[in-house]
């Protein structure tokens, strides 16, 4: 029973903080967030097109439905903070400073991509931007992010580490081990669980029976929040609180961001197992539609600005695609090099 | 030169590196106030403080992942597995994260994992393992396994200074049983270099870790009783292997026995045998012979454990067969 009470309390605190933080986003910031969300969606659509054209090999993933969570969360980070994104967080890379060009090269596995063709999609690191991509073993990056948070604390850097996992990945032991370590040591970690209703084909009803994944925070003695992951204001408000808490040295926060995976697990998955009714409901909560309406209502976004954004995004993407297609794969013999550092 | 134990040599190496480089720190279970299950880090907490000697929750995957993360951003963590057996709980971190990061990201991961390993201490199936072969198969990791106090200190220092993830297998039975001369000052034992621990001309024993000692004893007995001269090659580093040293010894002697305490099938000895067969076949005067623990979990009762492990008598028997071939 105490769990339910605690959950209600958590929600009450959340609502209050959301309201106060809503006033903090300036018009310019909201426009910037909209731009990155739009860019994220357009980028991922071009990735899917390139995959269908056979120009991207391996796999292609979409974070459609997750744009507000990915962009809004990483938006709360400073330059000196660390980002460990997942495969539905393309927007987080972009808002942390990664270029469209680099991300496109990365998806096409070119020699001049950040991972030099040794791995694709978001599986790269860019130390200059403090971005470290995930590996495919879900939750395995949380302990690594924990180590960066530990280094930040030991060196008194005040840098915050933000990382992500899905509803499915929250069942992996690394999720628990990391929260156990971070909570006891008060490490500056923000862990966002993107609860997008499905882990590949497994619905959340087969993944956990708690009312909210954030209820698990109680077990670690840390704050846990469940937020509407399609609402940019709510994402930014709660993530900013968590980042501040981490920076103050008070320890980690668990945030469950409720979203919907609007496409299949990957481009190869038709997701016939997702009830159409569920998709229809979530379509009404499309994060991009919501932010656009918010900005139009507030007269922050005008048709002229929107058209300007679209042109800019389209041109940037086209240039990145052309550049990536003209770039070479690495020379074959590169495969044998750099297994070890000198 | 001072004579100290194997375990003290590890402690001294750790201490000297922590004095030398402030980015070096330790993390693991019970390593602080308690000083570690084997007391390798006894007194370290008082001397270096809790920012350098970090007691952790009981979570091997988090420990190894955290070491990887700290190394990625420029620290030099030394993670202790309380027993090498428990590294399986963090296996994924080492083989998928730590091992692949430099290849994929071109970023160094200068971390050390200390693994108190090995049998012969009546530890039973879960406190006796020699898990090196699992990691030997993973490109991107380096593996060292000292047999003497001198090598133990020199290799822990080299491992800490290396820019790659290094797995440091320290044998529990050697901790207090083996003593040797160790210089007070700074020196390193280069990773990737083996060492001839007993010179000979008729047979080569290729070995590492705990079995170096019974191999030397067997070589001395064989020399006295049979007049056969045996060379004992201590690999010291398992990855990368000192191929030149192995091949040059075998080419000189023409006969080879490969010995390790790890179970035989799928052990590192198989790779060494393949290396010799591929590159020194024409120098061989006898079939390559291997000796390891038998292919079972490590049994508990002394009679069973003795049967399980390679020892001086088994090495001697194998050497006599080779000598007679």
Residues of A in contact with B92 (CB under 8 A): 137, 140, 174
* pLDDT the model gives residue A261: 98
Taking CA atoms, B126 is separated from A251, B83, B87, B88, B285, in Å, by 35, 9, 11, 11, 40
Tens of pLDDT, residues B212-252: 999 999 999 999 999 999 999 999 999 999 999 999 999 99
* Closest among B160, B178, B155, B129 to B298, alpha carbons compared: B129
Residue whose token pair is 């993670």: B79
Structure tokens at A97: 């400073």
Q: Classify A18 as helix, strand or coil.
A: helix
Please name the residues between 36 and 65 in chain B that touch chain A, using a CB distance below 8 Å.
Answer: 51, 54, 56-57, 59, 61-65
Provide CB contacts within 8 A for B89, sequence distance 6+: B59, B60, B61
Tens of pLDDT, residues A242-265: 999 999 999 999 999 999 999 999
Q: Cis check for the bond before A215: say yes or no (omega within 30 of 0).
A: no
Q: Who among B62, B71, B102 is closest to A146 (CB)? A: B62
> Which of B23, B28, B59 to mutate against chain A (most A CBs within 10 Å)?
B59
Q: pLDDT grade, residue B41 (50/70/90)? A: very high
d(CA A159, CA A138): 24
* Closest among A101, A114, A180, A176 to A139, alpha carbons compared: A176
* pLDDT the model gives residue A5: 32
Instruction: Please state the rounded mean pLDDT for residues A32-56.
Output: 97
Chain-chain contact of A143 with B61 (C-beta, under 8 angstroms): yes
Tens of pLDDT, residues B54-87: 999 999 999 999 999 999 999 999 999 999 999 9
Residue A6 has pLDDT above 70, yes or no: no
Tens of pLDDT, residues A257-286: 999 999 999 999 999 999 999 999 999 999
Q: Which residues of chain B are in CATH 3.40.50.970 domains?
A: 3-181
d(CA A330, CA A109): 8
Residues of B in contact with A124 (CB under 8 A): 104-105
Q: Which residues of chain B are in CATH 3.40.50.920 domains?
A: 195-324
Tens of pLDDT, residues A82-102: 999 999 999 999 999 999 999
How many beta carbons lie within 10 A of that of residue B125, not counting itself? 13
Structure tokens at B224: 């006295």
Shortest alpha-carbon distance between residue A117 and chain B (Å): 8
* pLDDT the model gives residue A3: 31
Shortest alpha-carbon distance between residue B288 and chain A (Å): 30
> Which of B18, B28, B99, B104 to mutate against chain A (most A CBs within 10 Å)?
B104
Q: Classify A46 as helix, strand or coil.
A: helix
Residue whose token pair is 């550049």: A323
Residue A14 has pLDDT above 80, yes or no: no
ipTM value of the model? 0.97
Residue A8 has pLDDT above 70, yes or no: no
Mean pLDDT of chain A: 93
Provide the annotated active-site residues of B.
Answer: 127
Nearest chain A residue to B74, by CA: A151
Instruction: Please state the rounded mean pLDDT for residues B266-273.
Output: 98
Residue A10 has pLDDT above 80, yes or no: no
Domains of chain A by start residue, with CATH: 2-329 (3.40.50.970)
Q: Residue B310, exposed/middle/buried by CB under 10 A (0-12, 13-18, 19+)?
A: buried
| pTM for this model (two decimals) | 0.96
Q: Any CB–CB contact under 8 A between A342 and chain B?
A: yes
CATH number of B195-324: 3.40.50.920
Chain-chain contact of B62 with A151 (C-beta, under 8 angstroms): no
Q: Any CB–CB contact under 8 A between A189 and chain B?
A: no
| Percent of chain B topping pLDDT 90 | 100
Q: Which fold has domain B3-181?
A: Rossmann fold (3.40.50)
d(CA B280, CA A123): 42
Tens of pLDDT, residues B123-172: 999 999 999 999 999 999 999 999 999 999 999 999 999 999 999 999 99
Q: pLDDT grade, residue A24 (50/70/90)? A: confident
Residue whose token pair is 């870790």: B209
Q: pLDDT grade, residue B30 (50/70/90)? A: very high
Q: Who among B69, B74, B139 is closest to A339 (CB)? A: B139
| Percent of chain A topping pLDDT 90 | 93
Task: Name the H helices within chain A.
Answer: 2-22, 27-52, 67-75, 90-95, 100-107, 141-154, 173-185, 232-247, 276-283, 287-297, 303-326
Instruction: Please state the rounded mean pLDDT for residues B17-24.
Output: 98
d(CA B307, CA B323): 24
Residues of A in contact with B66 (CB under 8 A): 143-144, 146-147, 150, 181
Nearest chain B residue to A175, by CA: B62
* pLDDT the model gives residue A4: 30
Per-position DSSP letters for A228-291, written without gaps between them: ETT-HHHHHHHHHHHHHHHHTT---EEEEEE----S-SSTT---TTS-HHHHHHHHTT-HHHHH
* pLDDT the model gives residue A12: 42
Residue A210 has pLDDT above 70, yes or no: yes
Do A241 and A15 form a contact (C-beta atoms < 8 A)? no
* pLDDT the model gives residue A276: 97
* pLDDT the model gives residue A215: 96
Tens of pLDDT, residues A45-65: 999 999 999 999 998 999 999
More confident residue, A333 or A16: A333
d(CA B168, CA B267): 17
Do A341 and B163 form a contact (C-beta atoms < 8 A)? yes
């Amino acid at each position: 029973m105490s769990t339910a009470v605690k959950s209600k309390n958590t929600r009450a605190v959340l609502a209050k903080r959301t309201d106060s933080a809503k006033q903090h986003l300036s018009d310019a910031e909201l426009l910037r967030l909209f731009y990155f969300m739009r860019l994220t969606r357009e980028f991922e659509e071009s990735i899917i097109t390139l995959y269908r054209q056979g120009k991207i090999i391996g796999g292609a993933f979409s974070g459609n439905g997750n744009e507000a969570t990915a962009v809004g969360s990483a938006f709360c980070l400073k330059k000196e903070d660390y980002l460990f994104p997942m495969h539905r967080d393309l927007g987080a890379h972009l808002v942390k400073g990664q270029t469209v060009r680099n991300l496109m090269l990365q998806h096409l596995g070119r020699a001049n991509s950040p991972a030099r063709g040794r791995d694709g999609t978001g599986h790269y690191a860019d130390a200059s931007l403090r971005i470290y991509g995930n590996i495919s073993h879900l939750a395995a990056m949380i302990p690594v992010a924990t180590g960066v948070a530990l280094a930040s604390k030991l060196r008194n850097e005040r840098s915050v580490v933000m990382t992500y996992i899905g509803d499915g990945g929250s069942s992996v032991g690394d999720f628990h081990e990391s929260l156990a370590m971070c909570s006891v040591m008060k490490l500056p970690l923000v862990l966002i669980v993107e609860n997008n209703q499905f882990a590949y084909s497994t619905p959340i009803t087969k993944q956990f029976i708690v009312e909210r994944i954030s209820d698990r925070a109680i077990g670690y003695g840390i704050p846990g929040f469940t937020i509407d992951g399609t609402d940019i204001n709510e994402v930014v408000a709660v993530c900013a609180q968590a980042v501040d808490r981490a920076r103050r040295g008070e320890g980690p926060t668990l945030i469950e961001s409720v979203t919907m995976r609007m496409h299949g697990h990957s481009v190869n998955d038709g997701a016939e197992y997702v009830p159409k009714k569920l998709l229809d409901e979530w379509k009404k909560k499309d994060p991009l539609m919501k932010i656009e309406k918010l900005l139009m209502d507030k007269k922050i976004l005008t048709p002229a600005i929107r058209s300007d954004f679209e042109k800019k995004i389209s041109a940037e993407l086209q240039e990145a695609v052309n550049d990536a297609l003209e770039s070479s794969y690495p020379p074959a013999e590169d495969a044998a090099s750099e297994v070890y550092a000198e | 030169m001072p004579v100290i134990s194997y375990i003290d040599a590890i402690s001294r190496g750790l201490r000297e590196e922590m004095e030398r480089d402030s980015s070096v720190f330790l993390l693991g279970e019970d390593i602080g106030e308690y000083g570690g299950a084997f007391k390798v880090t006894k007194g370290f907490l008082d001397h270096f403080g809790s920012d350098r000697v970090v007691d952790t929750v009981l979570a091997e995957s988090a420990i190894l992942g955290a070491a990887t993360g700290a190394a990625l951003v420029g620290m030099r963590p030394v993670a202790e597995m309380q027993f090498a057996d428990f590294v399986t709980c963090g296996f994924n971190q080492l083989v998928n994260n730590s091992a692949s990061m430099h290849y994929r990201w071109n970023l160094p991961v200068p971390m050390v994992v200390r693994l108190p390993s090995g049998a012969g201490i009546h530890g039973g199936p879960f406190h006796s393992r020699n898990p090196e072969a699992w990691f030997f198969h993973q490109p991107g990791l380096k593996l060292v396994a000292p047999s003497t106090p001198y090598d133990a200190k020199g290799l822990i220092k080299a491992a800490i200074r290396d820019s790659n993830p290094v797995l440091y297998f320290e044998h529990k039975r050697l901790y207090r049983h083996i003593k040797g001369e160790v210089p007070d000052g700074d020196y390193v034992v280069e990773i990737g270099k083996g060492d001839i621990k007993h010179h000979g001309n008729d047979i080569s024993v290729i070995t590492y870790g705990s079995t170096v000692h019974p191999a030397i004893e067997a070589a001395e007995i064989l020399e006295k009783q049979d007049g056969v001269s045996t060379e004992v090659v201590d690999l010291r580093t398992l990855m990368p292997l000192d191929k030149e040293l192995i091949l040059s010894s075998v080419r000189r002697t023409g006969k080879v026995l490969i010995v390790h305490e790890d179970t035989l099938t799928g052990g590192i000895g198989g790779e060494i045998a393949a290396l010799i067969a591929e590159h020194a076949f024409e120098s061989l005067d006898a079939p390559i012979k291997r000796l390891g623990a038998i292919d079972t979990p490590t049994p508990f009762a002394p009679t069973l454990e003795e049967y399980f492990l390679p020892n001086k008598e088994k090495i001697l028997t194998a050497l006599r067969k080779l000598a007679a071939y």
